[in-house]
A and B are shown apart, each in its own frame.
Chain A
Amino acid sequence: MSSQPIPQADVENIYAELRKLAAIHLSRRAPKASLQPTALVNEAWLRLAQHPWKSRSHFLAMASTAMRNVLVDYVRSRLAAKRGGEWTRVSIDGGRGPEGMTFNLAQVLDVHEALQRLTQLDARKARVVEMRFFAGMDFDEIAEALNISVVTAKRDWQFSRAWLYDSLTS
């Protein structure tokens, strides 16, 4: 299931659903209201429970693709908006890693594109990255969603990360 292409219509549904959820989530004035993807995904799960999703993991798998679309759109719009101006430097490693690299915002798009290449080579690994980086799912969730062991999920992540880092720097 994990490597099956996700029907576009479903992705669009969830995409719209997540946007709505974001609005609800944000209007609640939760103390740490933010675009926390996991919270959004959980809510989306509850709300979409009546839909014929095969399972929670099936749902999560689709939701992460939708999240990726949302965020890539956002980054694109940000880039488009300041075309010609100073490009903002966004630290993709949160500024924590000792040797972490600082990205242009545009390089989020590079990650997105590299991930598309990785999908050609190994769809499952690309899904792991999508779920973790774009949707913020933890390894337990990813393992469940892709029907793999947690260890495999972690190994996929480490390998893919190195692969992406290499393809973005070389």
Chain B
Amino acid sequence: MTPSLPDSDASVVSRIERLEALFWAAVNIAPGEREKLLSVECPDEPDLQRELERMLAANQRAGAFLEIPLPEVLESELPRGSVARWKLLECVGEGGLGVVYRAECMEDDVKLEAAVKILRPGLDTGKFREKFVKERQILAGLDHPGIVRLMDCGADSYGRSFMIMEYIRGEPLNTYLKRVNPVVPQRLELFRFVCEAVSYLHSRLIIHGDIKPANVLVTPAGIPKLVDFGASSLLAANTMVRGELTQLMLTPQYASPEQMRGEGPSIPGDIYSLGRLLEEILSSAPKRSDVRYILERAMAERSAERYLSVSDLLEDLRRLQEGLPLRARPATAAYVLRRFLRRNWAVALLTTLLVMSLAGGWWRAERASRRASVAASEALRQHQSALAHERRALENEALAASSAREAALNAARLDALVDDLINDEGADPNIVGQPNEVAERSLRRAAASLETLSGPRRWRELSILWRRLAMLLAHRGEFTAAEAPLEKAQYAATQWFRAQPTPASQLNALIVKLCQLRFARQRGMTQTAYRLAREALADFRRLPAVMQTELNGTVWLENARLSIARELIDQNRPELVPALLTEVVWNSYSRKLTQTRDLAVTNLVWSFRRLNRLNDARHWCGVAIEWQVADLRMAQFCAEPLMAFTDRDPLFPVMPGALSDEGLQSILSRINQLIQDLHEDPRSFPLNLTLGRDYARLAEHYLATGQPDLARPAVRKAADIRDTLIAGDSKSPVVLNFKRRVDALEHQKPTAN
């Protein structure tokens, strides 16, 4: 027989089930009846009775408790409130991961207006937060009339990350176009403004990554401004594959095909989006064939077929605006032209950057870069005809020469003229391609046979051959053996230049000088190297523009710039260094000379730091981190400017001794990261503690390696953090542990001396 389950059988029916049964029995009856019910159902269980009574009361009082789902509660908190001292007025945009509000605040009786961007609730963690912080870092370093300005940033007491930006009283580009319906020239002008801003970004190695009409706000004065840098990134060193995060945030209509495939933001990607933008800007206008051509080039399916730079696009745009024929398609242009274009993108950007930084004016910079482009095109044309002329001359010469060997030699010489200019780091690809001894023998034989020639031509051939021999020997590390040929090369170069002061002889003399510079540096003759570098750069500036373009980014020339920079640094004259080094960074970046690039960027950070241009220092630190510049000094250089933002007492000495300890480097980079995080969130307890521990570890490392001078500031930092923590929470065992550790360090300091 199966007995029915009695309610009071606690072994079978759980307490909560009984509670529930009683709850539903009691909930709809009068309070007086309830006592009766309880005395019948559970007379001997005062606990259960009490709990039920409490629950019935809770049921009465609970009101709307938990009735609004938590996400909605959290969401609804936001627009009503304020962020830091900014009062949020209205939502003006929702982009990427954040919401943008118009906001105001009072400062000294002046009402300030700004746009405040906040991460959405629930997203202010992890990767999303990292992206947001990155966006702020990118914006912080920018100063351009076509780009929204960052005024302030941080985290409020809710822990919400925010950034305060200039409030642009404008409307999105597409709305503006519909409302104003400007004529085509005005439309093109708007587009040109946007391109200028993007070009400025690219000159700082920043990719916007999400260019579209909604991200271009047009002010009442008709100035377009780029906003929303949520998808932007620093140009990565090699591949630019990034997380799925960016991809998810993209707007398919404007993102380039490769970006949609997940390849991440890139310069060609931005150019594609600009093409899309232009298409939209001109959507109502009939398309002339040259407009269609610009669109095709900007939006080519394969990124290699697009404009190489925004400057290139701007150049065609200018030609379109002025009714000039557009530039030739690279696919049909001559080899030289293609190569010129390939290199020119960096140079053209650089021109813009430098002129901008010198003159400080957008318009002037814009006009100057136009002039530079025109001059460069003109110089290219001249150079092409000069090359053709020279080739013809050499061919004639070769025909006239009796031996076939000489014909071959002459042809090789022509190639050498160009190929010398595209040396990779330390190597001469032309010569390296063949066995060294064979090359050396043939060069010596050729030089010997040339000694019999006469006139200026003889000097030219001799100079080139001796120089090549010297470079070959230098490449093999035989600097002593290279001296004699180099001297001969220099003598011949001087004779040639005297007889024929042409660009070719000028260039030859310069290359010889650059070889001498390399040798001088190799042998530690810094004064000589400095003198040679200065002379070489002066000679370089006298060359035709197109030859300058060819030479820029060669190891030899960039070494000259580095030599001068180094000398200026040694002389403690950092003010001239940034312009020089920016040039080196650009040239070496565009020619993929990694070592030169890293060396330059490291010193660039150093010089900005010395000049107290901390924003710039931070910017290039960011670039270096993105490029993963693996240099210990870099880690230290980066630490300081970042630290200088939290306080002005730099930890690291200006020129720390060479330290080669991976552990140290990891501590330093962790400190970097922590300081950055603390900058976001200055009151964070765990961050402070971690930072304090890292300083303690750093100090311990320095002490253990016998460097008390370096340890001292680290101990001081740790002690400061200890004091802060003790003041806040003196009882916590982790804090007390940390305190003991720092106390010990302080104690240890005098003995370590």
**Do these two chains interact?**
yes
Interface residues of A (CB under 8 A from B): 19-20, 22-24, 26-27, 29, 33-37, 67, 70-71, 73-74, 77-86, 88, 90-94, 96-101, 108, 111, 121-122, 129, 132-136, 155, 158-159, 161-166, 169-170
- A134 and B69 CA atoms in complex are apart in Å by 6
- A161 and B59 CA atoms in complex are apart in Å by 8
Q: List B contacts of A91 (CB < 8 A).
A: 73
Least CB separation from B24: chain A residue: A155
Chain A nearest CB from B585 CB (Å) reads 34
- A151 and B729 CA atoms in complex are apart in Å by 51
A-B CB contacts (within 8 Å), total count: 179
Chain A nearest CB from B62 CB (Å) reads 4
| Chain B positions 1-58 with a Cβ under 8 Å from a chain A Cβ | 14-17, 20, 23-24, 51, 54-58
A37 touches B65 (CB 8 A): no
A35 touching B683 in the complex, CB below 8 Å, given contacts A80-B159, A94-B73, A96-B68: no
B76 touches A94 (CB 8 A): yes
B55's contact among A94, A121, A122, A163, by CB below 8 Å, is which?
A163
* In the complex, B120 has a CB within 8 A of chain A: yes
Chain A nearest CB from B365 CB (Å) reads 34
Besides A27-B97, A34-B72, A94-B64, 4 other A-B contacts (C-beta < 8 A): A27-B96, A37-B71, A88-B158, A94-B76
Most B CB contacts (10 A, CB to CB) among A33, A70, A83, A136 go to A83
A93 touches B64 (CB 8 A): yes
Least CB separation from B66: chain A residue: A133
Chain B nearest CB from A15 CB (Å) reads 11
A81 touches B158 (CB 8 A): yes
* In the complex, B74 has a CB within 8 A of chain A: yes
A81 touches B684 (CB 8 A): yes
A-B contact pairs, 18 of them (CB 8 A): A20-B244, A23-B123, A35-B75, A71-B70, A81-B155, A85-B683, A90-B73, A92-B65, A94-B76, A96-B63, A96-B64, A96-B68, A100-B63, A100-B65, A101-B63, A155-B24, A162-B62, A163-B55
Chain B nearest CB from A77 CB (Å) reads 5
* In the complex, B499 has a CB within 8 A of chain A: no
Q: List B contacts of A111 (CB < 8 A).
A: 66
Least CB separation from A118: chain B residue: B16
Q: List A contacts of B96 (CB < 8 A).
A: 26-27
A37's contact among B69, B126, B128, B158, by CB below 8 Å, is which?
B69
Quick one: CB contact mask for B668-692 with A, threshold 8 Å, 1 for yes?
0000000000000101111000000
A77's contact among B15, B63, B70, B159, by CB below 8 Å, is which?
B159
Q: List B contacts of A90 (CB < 8 A).
A: 73-74, 77
Q: List B contacts of A78 (CB < 8 A).
A: 124, 158-160
Chain A nearest CB from B653 CB (Å) reads 34
Least CB separation from A160: chain B residue: B66
Q: List B contacts of A163 (CB < 8 A).
A: 55, 58
* In the complex, B415 has a CB within 8 A of chain A: no
B72 touches A136 (CB 8 A): yes
Chain A nearest CB from B29 CB (Å) reads 16
A165 touches B62 (CB 8 A): yes
Q: List A contacts of B16 (CB < 8 A).
A: 121-122
A162's contact among B58, B77, B125, by CB below 8 Å, is which?
B58
Most B CB contacts (10 A, CB to CB) among A22, A26, A85 go to A26
Q: List A contacts of B170 (CB < 8 A).
A: none
A97 touches B70 (CB 8 A): no
